[in-house]
């Protein structure tokens, strides 16, 4: 029973070939491409509006030099939303439920932000390691604590996204299993459990969107400190 619950998070393999790359690239086919018409269709118009609203909210506290990252973070937001929501469909695989993928994204982008801050304004970036007005006796301890918290940031990004998606998928699988078992034994209880399953699916869809937004928003806050 324990193994079957976590089988959904195993990377799909066919003929000893991992299918993670296909699971990552295939959902992009669902997005509408730009057209040469004067008026866009409803799908493309709604997609552009949602993307512009999310981008404007993310880059609201960032100064003008940091807006160069708009294309990268907007693409990352669409990528995470696609991966998170695609995993809610039956017989699909959620690549962002893998800690290795999330840590790779978080670590690479965090390192790029830190390197950018060290190149452009090293004094300002290093100044975050020591809070202003700190006592002189606590300076070494505070520097160590802030340095540890700096290196924990990519780990927190990856673990947060993985844990939220994994917990939601496990709850949905446990509830759906209970609904199928109770369907022949206790129909009324199965109906109540099915209603709970529907609400959990809606909640997981909201979590998939929110976690993608939080991931990109935290990266933008890290960018704000170094730009």
Distance (Å, rounded) from C-alpha 145 to C-alpha 130?
Answer: 9
Distance (Å, rounded) from C-alpha 203 to C-alpha 197?
Answer: 10
User: What does the pLDDT look like over 179-192, one tens digit per residue?
Assistant: 888 888 888 888 88
Q: Is it the case that residue 3 has pLDDT exceeding 70? A: no
Mean pLDDT (whole number) for 97-116: 87
Question: Does pTM surpass 0.85?
Answer: no
Mean pLDDT (whole number) for 61-71: 77
The H or E element that residue 73 is part of is: helix 70-86
| Residue predicted with more confidence, 35 or 66 | 66
**CB 27: neighbour CB atoms within 10 A?**
18
pLDDT, position 215 = 92
Distance (Å, rounded) from C-alpha 78 to C-alpha 84?
Answer: 10
């Amino acid at each position: 029973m324990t193994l079957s619950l976590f089988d959904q998070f195993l990377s799909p393999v066919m003929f000893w070939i991992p299918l993670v790359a296909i699971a990552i690239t295939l959902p992009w086919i669902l997005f509408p491409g730009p057209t040469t018409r004067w008026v866009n269709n409803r799908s493309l118009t709604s997609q552009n509006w949602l993307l512009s609203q999310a981008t404007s909210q993310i880059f609201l506290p960032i100064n003008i030099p940091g807006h160069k990252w708009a294309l990268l973070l907007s693409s990352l937001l669409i990528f995470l939303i696609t991966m998170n929501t695609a995993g809610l469909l039956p017989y699909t695989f959620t690549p962002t439920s893998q800690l290795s993928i999330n840590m790779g994204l978080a670590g690479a982008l965090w390192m790029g932000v830190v390197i950018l801050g060290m190149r452009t304004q090293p004094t300002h970036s290093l100044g975050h390691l020591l809070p202003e007005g700190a006592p002189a006796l606590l300076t070494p301890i505070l520097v160590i604590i802030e340095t540890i918290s700096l290196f924990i940031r990519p780990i927190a990004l990856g673990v947060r996204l993985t844990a939220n998606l994994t917990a939601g998928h496990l709850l949905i699988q446990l509830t759906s299993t209970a609904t199928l078992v109770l369907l022949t034994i206790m129909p009324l209880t199965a109906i109540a459990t099915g209603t709970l399953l529907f609400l959990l699916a809606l909640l997981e869809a909201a979590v998939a969107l929110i976690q993608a937004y939080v991931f990109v928003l935290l990266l933008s806050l890290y960018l704000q400190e170094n730009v």
